[in-house]
Amino acid sequence: MKLKYLPVLAAVSILCIFTACDPELEYLDITDTDTELTGATKYIISATPIGTTGIADYLLTTNSLDEGMITTKGNGLEQDGSYRYYLTHKNRFFSMLYGQGNPGAVTSYRLDSTGTLTRLSNFQSETVHVFAPVKDDVFTIKVPRSGNEFASMYRVDARKYQIVGEKQVNIVKLAGNGERAHFTWATQVGEKVFIPYMSIKGAAPDVFGTAYPDSSWVAVYSYPELEFEKVIRDNRTSYIGAYFLDGLVETENGDAYAFSPAAATNNGLPASTKPSAIIRILKGTTEFDQTYFFNIEQESGGHHIAAQTYLGKGIFILQMYPQPKSLAGTARKFAVADVINKKFKWVSGIPDDITRTTTINNYSPRDGKTGYIGITTASEGSYVYIFDAEIGAAKRGLKVEGGTITAINALKY
């Protein structure tokens, strides 16, 4: 399987359209308020059951990611559909159905005082592929890959489960080069929302191809007004993130680091001539820092960034495409990147026969050291792997039987 194209299957839905709701969908608590917490944490493992149809995942809860076993057999909360994707924000868990081009259900959950995962609401939505926490909202974007030239931005209140703001953006005009701006993700940076995008042709037979493989773009919008301010540009690497993969992270000091896989294609062939790298936007600025360039492709001996997991304090776990200059295959190599000091080292303890990894939904306590990533292998099945960035090593933790790990999240109660 090509990790690069997993996102094409993964467009998800979270945009509330109350007028289009299925009569069976319920609004259990649309005046949901925050409750007093005990300080305890429970982890939510989303796992696709083996040998079933019509079930996207089971939501399993556990007190520990470091050891033990949980199973999908007779356990968990069933999530219907072919694909589900997840987000936690304001201590709520959102389960989003990919609607196969049609509106789909979004279910929200919270832990009750006993640590039991409890449904709060169920509502309909359009299909989107950008969804991210921004201030008190779940910010979403519906981005057409061809035809319609307008992307739709929505602010969904994370407590009220309803739209509180909307904006239409002409993505052909935004690109300004005859192609279209295809947003990859969105990140709150300071008081604004920064939205990286890739430039794509948007027309058959090369919809995701581009004639501009060696440029990076981040669109800046005010928030909550969603007024366009500028595009931040750079030509030292390629586009930031990837379709359905987060490539921009704000660190604790307010700086933002941007990750490029240098994975642009033209007519189906790799076209980026610039290296896979990390670039930076300093706090309070809207320009790439020209004094900073972390050449990951050079440090790794020719590998490309496939995904990142932030551990806090400027430390990231990078998932890397497995072969130098290759953009194909499940990410089978892992590395630690200290972006502040520009240090890189490979992670040991990773199995050889990986068939799937979790990418956008991994967990870290943000201690600058520890990360938890789901790894499924052909020989041993699915485990949560515990990453220790200080020593550059990973080991098996919680085992998930009867299913393939698709996401790891955490809530407090």
Q: pLDDT of 140-169, one tens digit each? A: 999 999 999 999 999 989 998 888 999 999
pLDDT at 23 over 60: no
Q: Which helix (H) or strand (E) holds 299?
A: helix 296-299
**pLDDT value at 249 more than 90:** yes
Pairwise pLDDT comparison (277 vs 105), residue with the higher score: 277
Residue 322: pLDDT band with limits 50, 70, 90 = confident
Query: Residue 337's pLDDT is what?
Result: 98
**6 or 313: which carries more pLDDT confidence?**
313
pTM of the model: 0.91
Return the pLDDT at 18: 34
In this predicted structure, what is the pLDDT of residue 8? Answer: 32
Return left, alpha or beta for 201; rule: phi > 0 is left, psi -120 to 50 is alpha, else beta.
alpha
Tell me which H or E stretch contains 175: helix 171-175
Model pLDDT for residues 87-123, shown as the tens digit of each residue: 999 999 999 887 666 676 788 999 999 999 999 988 7
CA–CA dist 237, 257 (Å, integer): 13
Average predicted confidence (pLDDT) for the chain: 90
Question: What mean pLDDT do residues 301-322 have?
Answer: 96
| 218, 196 contact by CB (below 8 A) | yes
Per-residue model confidence (pLDDT) at position 101: 63
Q: What is the tens place of the pLDDT at every residue in 325-356?
A: 888 877 789 999 999 999 999 999 999 999 99
Extract the tokens encoding 56.
């996207």
Question: What whole-number distance in Å separates Cα of residue 387 and Cα of residue 367?
Answer: 12
pLDDT tens digits for 354-365? Answer: 999 999 999 999
Is pLDDT above 90 for 189? yes
Q: For residue 37, what is the DSSP state?
A: -
The amino acid sitting at 154 is: Y
Q: Is residue 21 over pLDDT 90?
A: no
pLDDT for the residue 4 = 34
303 alpha carbon, distance to own chain's centre: 21
SS3 99: coil
Could you say which architecture CATH assigns to the domain 3-412? Answer: 7 Propeller (2.130)
Residue type, 319: Q
